[in-house]
Structure 1
Amino acid sequence: MSRRSNAQRAPEVAKITDLSHEGRGIAHVEGKTVFIDDALPGELVEWQRFKRGRNFDEGRLLRVIEPSPARVEPRCIHFGMCGGCVLQHLSGEQQLLFKQKQLMDSLTRIGKVTPQEILPPLQADTWNYRRRARLAARWVPKKNRTVVGFRERNTPYITDLQRCEVLQSPMDRLIVPLSELVTALSIRNRVPQIEVAVADNAVALVVRVLEPLTDADKALLQRFGREHSVQMFLQPGGYDTVAPLHDAGEELAPLEYRVPAFDLALHFLPTDFIQVNGPLNLQMIDRAVTLLAPQSTDRVLDLFCGLGNFSLPLARRAGQVVGVEGDASLVARARANAARNGLENAQFYTANLADESLGTAQFSSPWAGKFDKVLLDPPRAGAQEVLPVVAKSGADTVLYISCHPGSLARDAGILVHEHGYELRAAGVMDMFPHTAHVESAALFVKAVGG
């Protein structure tokens, strides 16, 4: 090893000044920014550089010399290796403050907007909250078994989990049994992932298989399902190939989650997108309906509506709700959920909401028109392409549910500076505790004369 590479790996000492948007400690060493895993602002740490870059370096924490008062003992034995969580060493209160700061900094820096009011943060249970997850699986000959878990930090490997503190019960304690199950299959080296869906009434696992199963394999999977009260599904190809694996004559109960405050039960498939944190989702729905305050005469447009998570509660209050979603299968589920819950005032349409032609004069659609309120719940890329439709709708109130503060800030700037809205309020919702993921809500109201 050269003298240079030895120097790169030598332990160093640094003062941490801030947290990055990924939750890593930020230090400035000899005029260069360094990101250090698991270090907290205010700490003096010993660290080791593992990557040099042109604009910044990266390092791993070796020892905390002067700890932050906000540092807590991580609950998970895999913390530091598993990439599923990055903030278990930071107190819950400080996690919320970190996320609030990420949101406000993005709004100010990117969107050049400031909310008139900061909404109080929403938070539910911070452990065993994940009802949806995608677990990786890999046969490891040296261990003579299949490893099941989330990806490791900074490596392509899979964390060898024993249990998971954020997966909802019973999945938190089924990691080892899953590992043993896949190890026993004849195609153990051809099972790359297992998707998890925990409903209010059932648990489902979708096993991705790259080769056909033998009858003995199928029997093992079925027995696992019976022993752990889990619905088993196979996925030999794309999502359209997902099918249940169950005994002849057995009927699987549809997966559902309930929204008691609005007397709703929503059915979904095990690979459908649903909000990961069930209790937090209920709080988020309450906040959305409260902020939009739909009246019995209002027409409400719900863009990126999914299977009706916000549309159907809004339909309990509004005169009419129109939901639009790019995934046709989710639209079918939304229509079925509306019918199942006796809501005749909710209509759903399939449309590509990332289509750049949405803002052109040639754009026309049966779902576009005049609305009193609009709700947006886009993916990480945001809702930029559909904002002209929102503006043309004449809505006096727009609620934007965001899973990425950067795209929210960009779109907030457009709504305020180009379309005449005011940013009335904004705040975070802790959908993913112990991660750097920032879920937020922003309320826009049409400015006088806007």
Structure 2
Amino acid sequence: MPCVQPGEQVILEVEDLSHSGEGVGRWQGQVVFVPLAVPGDRVRATVVEVRKKYLRARLEEVLLPGPARCRPRCPSFARCGGCHVQHLPYDYQLQYKAKLVRDSLERIGKLTGVKVLPVLGMDNPWHYRNKVRFHVAHRAGRLALGLYAPGSHVLGHWMARDAVCHIVDGELNNLALMIECLLNKYRESLLDGSKTLLSYVTLRKAVATGETMVVLATTKDRWPRQEELAGELARIGRVTTVVQQTAVLPDREVDVGHTRTLYGKGYITDRLGDLVFRLSATSFYQVNPVQTRVLYEKVREYAGLTGLERVMDAYCGVGTIALFLARQAREVLGVEVSPRAVADARQNARLNNLNNVSFVRGAVEKLLPRLFDRGGGPDVLVLDPPRRGCHRSVLEALARCPVPRVVYVSCDPGTLARDLGFLAGHGYRVVEVQPVDMFPQTHHVECVCLLEQANVDLEEE
């Protein structure tokens, strides 16, 4: 192992990108991860971490830029954790994400020869987010809204200084600036000594209707002039509701603490195609409205519905995929652990007059094996788990009671590859994987994967 200590500088050629968008090079045979470096760069970097199998270094200077490097649109890119690959042209980002999926399938899932289609990207990969969480900091005598620097609780992007986040919807950017000014009008009532009572402000916009929600995450249930602040928030932009979340712990989100409505209905209503969705402060809903439609159309294509199938949507959230498939299915069952999400899903089914959809509350890893063991397996199963992937008991239930067609939606290529590797060894064939770029300018990539029983030719059914 090379003898190098933290604080020493090294010069190296960057050869690749890691799964998190860091540059990867070698110095005296040792792998070195360098954030903000790109393939083809020759860089000078300071070692900040020494491990047995790798080094981590801080980029100091690009001595010779690689052909893939471009100028980031955002001047705060290097110090903000909101984006990871804005210094790469968009077509290169798409190639990187396709390679990331292929490499994960081969390295983690031990799957070779899987058909990975080109990534479905955006015509305009900017200002796509319809939801953003801005952290609140007490800075230079003012309350500031912004995004944390990578691996820290320090603002790397500050709305008052930077004025815009280039991946956030334009109206939400303008709203954030107005909210920051308003928070400072009420600054004294929002401070507890030197600390702010606000942990973060979440903005969510229903693009189809224009309705906008402001969520104030606080460390106390009440504070002075609370109603006055909520009233003024409701008069700016197109804000239709203001909600307060009292977090159990700072920076915790969804399904924790207490939620109450300070102004309006407590929810906003959006449309996806001909469907209507009611979204509360804790509802999970995809943040890229353009690509959400692309993603769900691919799910529906892979589901191959004829109107006769029983469909199960595991990890169904507020029922978006379940309802999107309902009109082409005989019946759909959604399974979700969050009681708030199930309540929203049932309400969404009523709003859309869909009577062939039902939702049950419970952990997928507990309910799915029980349903399968009772002979309640579906014709088509949609898996859309959180980033950690499927629980082992879910995969084992699929191995015991095979489903003819499985559509797996994943936001993490690593856990997707792990789960596909298990299923491929237990009676399933991975037909193809379609990556979808839900998060341009970041290292994240969504995938939709079609699996079928290895001994069934679904094309000839």
Give the TM-score normalised by the residue count of structure 1.
0.90
Q: Which residue does 2:251 correspond to in 1?
A: none
What letter matches 1:165 in structure 2? Answer: H
Quickly say closer, same or farther: Cα 1:304–1:179, change in 2 above 3 A. same
| Counterpart among 369, 376, 379 of residue 372 in structure 1 | 379
Structure 1, gaps ≥5 residues long: none
Residues 135 and 309 (structure 1), Cα distance of their counterparts in 2 relative to 1, 3 Å cut:
same
| AA partner of residue 306 (structure 2) | Q
Counterpart position of 1:87: 85
Deviations 1:305-330 (A, max 9, x none): 11111101111101111111111221
Q: State the SS of the aligned residue for 1:80.
A: helix
Give the aligned partner of residue 221 of structure 1: 230
SS of 1:242's partner is strand
- 2:347 matches 1:336: yes
Does 2:423 correspond to 1:415?
yes
CA offset digits 1:49-106 (Å, max 9, x no partner)? 2333343222222222222222111111210000111100011111111111111111
Residue 283 in structure 1 maps to residue 283 in structure 2: no
Q: Is the aligned partner of 1:173 residue 2:174?
A: yes
The 8 Å contact of residues 426 and 440 in structure 1, kept in 2 or not, is answered as: yes
SS of the residue 1:290 aligns to: helix
Aligned match of 1:445 in 441, 452, 457? Answer: 452
SS in 2 for 1:9: coil
CA drift at 1:138: 1.6
Task: Name the count of aligned residue pairs.
Answer: 433
Equivalent in 110, 123, 130 of residue 112 of structure 1: 110
TM-score calculated relative to the size of structure 2: 0.88
Q: How far apart, CA to CA, are the structure 2 residues paired with 1:123 and 1:206?
A: 30
1:389 equivalent to 2:389? Answer no
- Range moving further from structure 2, 389-398 or 336-345: 389-398
The Cα of 1:240 is off from its aligned counterpart by 5.6
Q: CA deviation at 1:115?
A: 5.3
* Shift in CA distance, 301/211, structure 1 to aligned 2, threshold 3 Å: closer
**Does the 8 A contact of 1:164 with 1:175 survive in 2?**
no
1:236 alignment counterpart:
246
Q: Is the 8 A contact 1:121 1:429 kept in 2?
A: yes
Alignment of 1:321-360 (within 5 A): 321-355=332-366, 359=369
> Structure 1 residues 349, 307: CA separation in 2 closer, same or farther (over 3 Å shift)?
same
Which amino acid is the alignment partner of residue 58 of structure 1?
R
SS in structure 2 at match of 1:310: helix
**Counterpart Cα distance in 1 of 2:21 and 2:134:** 22
Deviation at 1:16, TM superposition (A): 0.4
Inter-partner Cα distance in structure 2 for 1:13 and 1:187: 48
Structure 1 distance, partners of 2:342, 2:397, is 20
> Whole-Å Cα distance in 1 between the matches of residues 100 and 387 of structure 2?
15
Distance 1:211 1:10, change over 3 A: same
CA deviation string 1:338-378 (max 9, x = no partner): 121111111111121234x965xxx3589961321111000
Q: What is the 5 A alignment of 1:3-402?
A: 8-114=6-112, 116-124=114-122, 125-140=124-139, 143-162=140-159, 163-183=164-184, 184-185=186-187, 186-188=189-191, 189-200=196-207, 201=209, 202-230=211-239, 231-237=241-247, 239=256, 241-246=258-263, 251-252=264-265, 254-260=267-273, 263-355=274-366, 359=369, 363-364=370-371, 369-383=376-390, 384-402=392-410
Q: Please list every run of 5 or more consecutive structure 2 residues that lacks an aligned counterpart in the other structure.
A: 249-255
CA distance in 1, matches of 2:121, 2:259: 33
Paired amino acid for 2:420: A
